[in-house]
Each structure stands twice: as C-alpha cells, then as structure tokens.
A = this chain, B = another copy of it.
Amino acid sequence: MKDSAETPPDPTELLVCTKCRRGRTEPGDDRWPGQVLFDALEALPLPEGVRLTPVECLQNCDHGCTVALRGGARWTYVFANVDEVVGAAMILDGAAQYHAQPDGLIPWRERPEHFKRNCVARIPPLEAPNV
C-alpha cells in the first residue's frame, strides 16, 4: 500500500533571469543585476526540493530583477522587482513555502509581502500532464 505521507512532493524550480539590467546601462561589478541575484541565490543553501535554474531573459525587462517558480502540479508564478542584493533570502523563504503547497498557492496571509505586491503573472498547472 502506498503511503502518500512518505512520497516527497514534486520538485520546485526557481528560475532566475540572469540578463536582467534593471534599468542599468552598465553592469555593476562586471555583472548585471540579474547575475548578481543568481549568484546570491546560488551562495545560499537551497530549501529541500528546490532547484535553481538560470534563464537568459524572462522578458519582464521593465520590472526586473525577475524570478519564476514552477514544478509538478503547482501554478507557475512570476515575481518582479526583486532586489539583487538583499532579496535572495526572501526569495528562498518564499520558494520553500511554495514548495510546501501541492498547488503552489501560498495562503495569502502567509505569503511574503514582496510576493503579494510584485506578482507579474501566474499560470495554471497543465490539466492533463504529459499531453
């Protein structure tokens, strides 16, 4: 008999736009803000079940830095205006909360304030996976 309590949830993917310029015409320390954010995230311990994926342009260029969360049967979420210096830990906390929800819907009151105010879009899970 399969015990669902022992089944780990589907993995969560944290996508980070590494080309984000966030209004700059030149990078800072030779890195664009998006790369600074990605490096900051990579330097921290990732929550269990969350993996990090660099993406060259999530095309939210006017409101970067931008990240997306997806995985399994969860809604995909896109969040904008992430501070590349101080935002990494907040994003990982939010990613852990997202990962804990089978549908990716973090209860509103528990949602990070940044997630509440900077959701660019959400996309429903595929109704019929593998089709």
Q: Known: A76-B76, A78-B78. Contact between A58 and B123, CB under 8 A?
A: yes
Interface residues of A in 19-42 (CB under 8 A from B): none
Q: How far is the CB of A118 from chain B (nearest CB, A)?
A: 11
**Nearest CB of chain B from residue A45's CB, rounded to whole Å:** 23
Determine if A60 is an interface residue (Cβ-Cβ < 8 Å): yes
Where chain A touches its partner, the secondary structure class is strand
Give complex CA distance A59, B120 in Å: 7
**A55 and B124 within 8 A (CB):** yes
Which residues of A are interface residues toward B (Cβ below 8 A)?
11, 15, 53, 55, 57-60, 66, 68, 70, 76-78, 119-124, 129-131
Name 29 A/B residue pairs within 8 A (Cβ), A-sorted. A11-B131, A15-B123, A15-B124, A53-B124, A55-B124, A58-B121, A58-B123, A59-B77, A59-B119, A59-B120, A59-B121, A59-B122, A60-B119, A60-B120, A60-B121, A68-B121, A68-B123, A70-B123, A76-B76, A76-B123, A78-B78, A78-B120, A78-B121, A78-B123, A120-B120, A120-B121, A123-B123, A129-B130, A130-B130
